[in-house]
Amino acid sequence: MNYFDIITGILLILAIIKGFKNGLIIELASLAALVLGLFGAIKFSSITETYLMEHIDSSHIGLIAFIVTFIAIVIGVHLVAKVVDKLVSAIALGMVNRVLGAIFSLLKYAFIISVIIAILGSFEKTYSLIPEEQKSSSHLYEPLKSIAPSIFPYLQFNEVREQIDNARKGVDV
């Protein structure tokens, strides 16, 4: 066990605690809020921009509209999730919700750490950010490293995958 294992182990334990505290409904909503907020802000910030232009005179109106739209969608998703969470608790599924939340949060954070490892790995030729000794003596590095590459093909993020592959080959993206 080394520093990499200790740091990632602590992060994964915190993820389990957070997931258990929040429950599956809130954990799913937080992920959905980010995804929907991003896509919604991309698609609908022009509507917000039109409204804001009537009230605000700024050269950064596009960015402000994007941020306002993103925040509004995230808040909306979280409000809906809170209502659903209360309903789930009311019908005595609270403990199931919490256990599934802990599992989902663990998997979500493991995936995020795996993506970070993949990104850091793409810079290995130029910078050795995680020493080889740490990688080889780690119990968590290889299992975590394999998560994102095994999931990416199912996400249909061809453009993202191509950029990561090009970065690994040392090609400018």
Give tens-digit pLDDT for 140-171. 999 999 998 888 777 665 655 565 566 556 55
> Taking residues 45-64, what's their average pLDDT?
87
Average pLDDT value over all residues in the chain: 84
Whose tokens are 């050269």? That residue is 59
Q: With a threshold of 0.95, does the pTM exceed it? A: no
Composition of the chain by helix, strand, coil, percent to 5: 85, 0, 15
149, burial (CB in 10 Å: exposed 0-12, middle 13-18, buried 19+): middle
